[in-house]
Amino acid sequence: MIPYIHIEPLVVGPLTISPFGLLMGIAIIVGVALSMWRGRRIGMDESELNSFLWAILIGGLVGGHVFDAILYYPREVLAQPWLLLEMWNGLSSFGGFFGGFLGALIWKYYERRPFRSIGRFQLMRPVRRITPARIIPYTDTVVSVFPVSWFFGRMGCAIVHDHPGILASAGSWLAVAFGPGPVHRFGLIELRYGTQPHYDLGLLEMIFSALLAVCFALTWRYSRKASGWYLVAASLIYAPVRFALDFLRLDDTANGDMRYAGLTPAQWACFALFVYGIALAIRIRARSKNV
């Protein structure tokens, strides 16, 4: 059984650095750096790719919080609507995907252009593009390296245990030792060997993302253009895996996730993601036959 890991925040002067915030920051930095590296390797326009990354990052962070608040904590939002503005308070993966998609759509039709200079700085404003940009190549480039970034994000979830799962057998090597028990400390790190084995969905998805990252990385040298197949593969692989994993989550009666007709919001989103993956695969194949 895996010990329950707890890491105290690191205090540096007036700053308090939480493990989750630090790992989310690393995830974003790694994702952006790898996307730009991948883009240069396959000959993409770096300026356009950079602006695309900003669009999906902002959309993803906003969408991730709004989706999480509305669908997972509807009672709290009805009582305190201003929770929707607390961007630091909760994120949802599928909400992030949806928000990133909306950001990509806005980027498709609008670009930033300078309209005033203040010293060395230029103020930018959105201007409608003459010709809409293609978003599939840019999305495919990001998705090809995204599992590496996702690994660090899910590591943050695993460390703070914000996705607790159902009870597991004590003999399961994937069970986490929740509950009271002996504690061993190593500086800021605390290992607790509790007596209540539970699945930890953040940990399980971290393991999955590591496997997917390795599989994708092994194909980078053979893929020299952003055709959309990474996006297809990620959609068709992630959707069923995430759908299955969510059955291990605690439900709302046990301080877990909300259910709608017996399924979590993420499970309903998995249906849409899987259908999208199939539709995109058909579209890419049809286009390749017409070339």
* Higher-confidence position of 154 and 116: 154
What region does 99 belong to: left with phi over 0, alpha with psi -120 to 50, or beta? alpha
Render pLDDT for 139-166 as a digit per residue (tens, 0 to 9).
999 999 999 999 999 999 999 998 889 9
Give the relative orientation of helices 229-245 and 201-217 as an angle to the nearest 10 degrees: 160
* Band of residue 121 on the pLDDT scale cut at 50, 70, 90: confident
Q: Can you read off the two tokens belonging to residue 129?
A: 């593009």
pLDDT at residue 189 tops 80: yes
pLDDT at 133: 94
Q: 47-61, 87-101, 132-146: which range is least confident on average?
A: 87-101
pLDDT at 170: 76
**Which sequence spans correspond to the domains of the chain?**
2-290
User: Are 67 and 99 in contact, with CB atoms under 8 Å apart?
Assistant: yes
* Band of residue 112 on the pLDDT scale cut at 50, 70, 90: confident
What distance in Å separates the CA atoms of residue 198 and residue 200, rounded to the nearest whole number?
6
